[in-house]
Each structure stands twice: as C-alpha cells, then as structure tokens.
Amino acid sequence: MNRTRQIYLTPVSELAPGAIAAIRNEIIDILTARASRELNKLPEQLLVRDLRPFDDLGWATHADIGTTALTENEWIFTSDDSANYGAFTKMIADAYDELAKDRYVAVYGVKDMRMSLATPIAQALSMLKINVGGNDKVIWDLQNMQAYPTALAAVCPPPGVIIPPSTAFQIYGYGGLADGAAATDIASYIVLEGIVVEPKGKVLSA
C-alpha cells in the first residue's frame, strides 16, 4: 500500500475476505499502543469497548440536526430535513463536543440499520464529516454502501478517525433528502463503527 492518507469508505461487500477483521484488529492495536504510551499504563490496564452514542459522543444532541435532540444512548434520531438538506449540520451539542479525560475513540466506519426494519424507510443523511481539534479529518459518502441492501455497512482503512482525550470534536451530518413531496422528517438509522480505549475501572472493570 502506498503512503497516502486513505480515508475513503468501502462497503463491506467490496472488501477482500478477512479485510474487515484486519482493519478492526489494526485499529485496536494502534489505539491501544497510543493510549498505553500516553497514559503511561500497561496494555493489561486498558480495555477496548463499544461506543456509547450519547455517553461517549453526545450523538445527535445538537438541536440543529434533529427535530428533537437526543439525550440517551441510541443512534436513531429524526433528522430535521428542512434545516439540514444539502448542508453539513452539527450533530454534537456544545456541552458534549470534547472527549472525556483518559478516553480514546477511533471511528472507522458506518452502518445503516434501516433495512432491518419491518418496513424499510428512506435514509436521511447522505454524508458525514468529522472534525477533530479544529481539522476536518474525513468526509464519508454514506451512499457508497446503498447498493448492497443486505449489508449496509462500510469501513475506512486504518487509522480511521482518532479522537484523543480532552480533545474538541464535532460530527456533521449532510441532509440528503429535501423536505419535499412527503414533507415529513425522516429518521436516521446510521451507526458509527468504532471503539473506545480507556483505563479499566473508568467505566468497566473487565
């Protein structure tokens, strides 16, 4: 592989066999090594866990993105398409836009849950942008995975997007649906694929 920064989103259906596991494992290794060095802790004093959308990221807490700001650990929210159609809109409220102390987050992909609904619905967001420490790190096109209705998931090559502890970050959703003929807001079923690395005991004592 060349030495460029590769930040594109590849549908899991287009990956080589084993590639998704290799990406996940490499990102775990990268983030654990960094946390171990910077926190001065042995790897066995750290744990790797799933993201909590609200408690870790403040997902969809910003009043601009949804018709109702989320305050609980769920990814699903109703997108205010009249406000965010055709533009990047902040998803994280000011109160949540700095990562907690001693916590590292890596985000390396997305999933879309809507095809598992009893009646699949439309998708509200067409792109995501992630800013860390004032720099726009990635713009991901969520439409990349839409050709594969039985596997709406996509990942980015390592290292993905890393949010270090006590660092400001913001996630922007791009509204892909106009407040058009249906004139109703659409729920977003996007899930971020990622991990948290932090000291054991901070949340869990595995």
Instruction: Tell me if residue 34 falls in helix, strand or coil.
Output: helix
| Residue 13 in tokens | 């259906």
Specify the stretch interacting with another protein by CB under 8 A; choose among 57-65, 71-79, 174-182, 197-205.
174-182
Contacts of 85 (CB under 8 A, 6+ apart): 175, 176, 177, 178, 179
Query: CA-to-CA distance for 18 and 171, rounded, in angstroms?
Result: 29
Q: Taking CB under 8 A as the rule, which mask of x and - marks residues 40-59 in contact with another protein?
A: --------------------
Using CB under 8 A as the binding rule, whether residue 201 contacts another protein is answered as: no
CA distances from 66 to 78, 173, 189 (A): 5, 10, 12
Using CB under 8 A as the binding rule, whether residue 126 contacts another protein is answered as: yes
Q: Count residues binding another protein (CB under 8 A).
A: 57
The correct pick among 41, 49, 137, 202 for binding another protein (CB under 8 A) is: 137
The correct pick among 25, 43, 68, 122 for binding another protein (CB under 8 A) is: 122
Burial (Cβ within 10 Å: 0-12, 13-18, ≥19) of residue 86? exposed
The correct pick among 74, 121, 200, 204 for binding another protein (CB under 8 A) is: 121
The correct pick among 141, 167, 168, 203 for binding another protein (CB under 8 A) is: 141
For residues 185 and 78, is the Cβ–Cβ distance under 8 A?
Answer: yes
CA distances from 44 to 40, 48, 67 (A): 12, 11, 43
Using CB under 8 A as the binding rule, whether residue 167 contacts another protein is answered as: no
Query: Quick one: 14 or 72, whose CB is closer to another protein?
Result: 14
Residue ranges in contact with another protein by CB under 8 A: 1-10, 13-17, 19, 30, 33-34, 85-86, 115, 119-124, 126-127, 135-141, 143-144, 146-150, 152, 158-159, 161-162, 174, 176-178, 180-182, 186
